[in-house]
Chain A
Amino acid sequence: MIQISHLQLSLQRRLILDDISFTIHEHECLGLIGPNGAGKTTLLKCLSGMIESDRGSITMSSRSIRQHQQSIGYLSQQTDFKSWMTCEQSLRFFGRLSGLDRATLNKRIPDVLQEVGLLDQQTEVIERLSGGMRQRLGIAQAILHEPTFLILDEPASALDPSGRHDINQLILRLKKRMTIIVSTHLLEDAKTCCDRFLVIKHGKLLGPLDNQRNVDQYRIQVETLTAAPSFSVTRFPRVEIDRINPCCYQFSAQQPLDLSELATTLIQLGWSIASIAYQPIGLEERFLDMVADV
């Protein structure tokens, strides 16, 4: 378990991270979302031990994260690497820096390249790799030393849909043996691999955003089997009624609506209800609501 407590960081007299506390559970994939300049990358760099915070602590198994450098894998937003190196040379370079010996590297490099789907590009020069391949090489260098905590900074932002799909599938596979935190703008994509999300804006944690389907208690959608009979709107004080089509109506109010009460009233009015449900809210919509208020 990784515990982040009251993290605070100022750079050039500007508060970048403001009293951030949260926990990442083992084998969980946590999504970090927020607008540009929210402090996501800085937070991830603090988690990686690269930046020391002014206040607060980051602990992993009750010890400072800095004592766990060997257990951390990090993928930066930029994955240009040394473009003259081949994939193998690049991994060998990072492996040596991680303290892996030659025998271990000889075994690990093909395994890792296989895992990220780059085995055929083992001797390919990085300069000739596509954006998606570089991103996968970035993940390969991050998992080369078999870390238990993986930090991914926008791993799929610059990729096409198929590239994003590949990265998400890879993250799903890695999740089985690692704890992962991933910053992203692509909420719909991240939904497939993240268990929950944290929203950050202006360096402040706005709160969690779980990956469950949330509903809007202020809006109810009713579908009928046959066209709804005419009714007086006075039966529904302070409720706005929108007719989407003859068999579909939307009821909205300024306060939470009671689903069963509305259903009873409509049945009394002679409606043959096919379905009645609160309006679902998408992850992106909830995120936008959250950041708009701050």
Chain B
Amino acid sequence: MRTFYTLTWTEWLEAWKEWKIVWLPLFFIALGVTQPLLLMYMDVLLAHVGNADGIIVDPNRPAPQSLDVFSATIHGQFNQLGLIVLIMSFMGLLASDRQTGMQDFILTRPVSRNVYLLSKWFSHGMISLFGMLIGALTSYCLTVYWFGSLSPLLALRIILDFSLWTLFVVSLTLLISTFLRRAVPIGILSLVVSLLLVALPSLMPDILFFMPGALLSLPSHTSFFSSSHLIGIISCLIWILLTLGWSALRFRKTAY
């Protein structure tokens, strides 16, 4: 436990020294603000583009609902630009230690490989969730302020789903890091696989309901306790465990 604490605490300190603790939440705050802001001032923005008269907006179009705005923020902004930046922020989670010799220095001490991997997953997962949650909270407040009330339980469900997905992406990147040695190819492959895992279940929701990305394909009004949601959560948790287990198996042979 002491080893896990030491390794995790050092990762957090490093995130602080590299200002990741600051810029990651700021980035997600910016993302969280963008979607409500765009929808709130859509009329003004559209009026200033197009020809001299601007673009005419149907005055009878329905006003955006707070649930749709919040869902679009998380599933759109967070899962596109946010995902790219998140993967970039942790794609070197094993590769950098390997390059600097830290992995050798750590693993030649009485440190279990599993504890080392778990500390990497936990610290990078928590740092990512920390940034994402601050952005999501900002977005929630702004959405409620501009577009009316939004059930906290529904918002919590959307945030929880994206949190689980984020943790899965961290474990996926960890797994890919046990196959590849350089950070950039690890990042690119993690991104491509993640995008595929989101796109495929949305194309075939009935068949690929067990995929980790299926959680993000659920309709925004899906209840927290609905069977489809619970199945999605359990599937994602199983996928996280599977990727972590596979990483541990791979790391036994490739930790050098």
Question: Which A residues lie at the B interface, using CB under 8 A?
Answer: 11, 42, 45, 48-52, 69-70, 72, 74, 76-84, 93-94, 96-99, 138, 141, 145, 151
Contact = CB atoms under 8 A, between A and B. Distances in A.
B111 interface: yes
B180 interface: no
B256 A50 contact: yes
A70 B110 CA distance: 7
Interface residues of B, number: 24
Contact of B14 (A45, A69, A82): A82
Given A51-B256, A82-B10, A84-B17, A99 B110 contact: yes
B151 interface: no
B100 interface: yes
A6 B110 CA distance: 25
Contacts, number: 71
Given A50-B107, A94-B109, A84 B256 contact: no
Interface string B96-111: 0001111011111111
Contacts of B253: 11
B105 A74 contact: yes
Of A69, A72, A96, most buried by chain B (CB within 10 Å of CB) is A96
B108 A80 contact: no
6 contacts: A79-B101, A81-B101, A81-B105, A97-B7, A98-B109, A151-B108
Interface in B230-256: 252-253, 255-256
A94 B105 contact: yes
Given A50-B255, A74-B108, 15 more contacts: A48-B104, A48-B108, A50-B108, A51-B256, A76-B101, A78-B101, A81-B102, A82-B10, A84-B18, A94-B109, A97-B109, A97-B111, A99-B2, A138-B105, A141-B105
Contacts of B18: 84
B3 interface: yes
Of B110, B111, B253, most buried by chain A (CB within 10 Å of CB) is B110
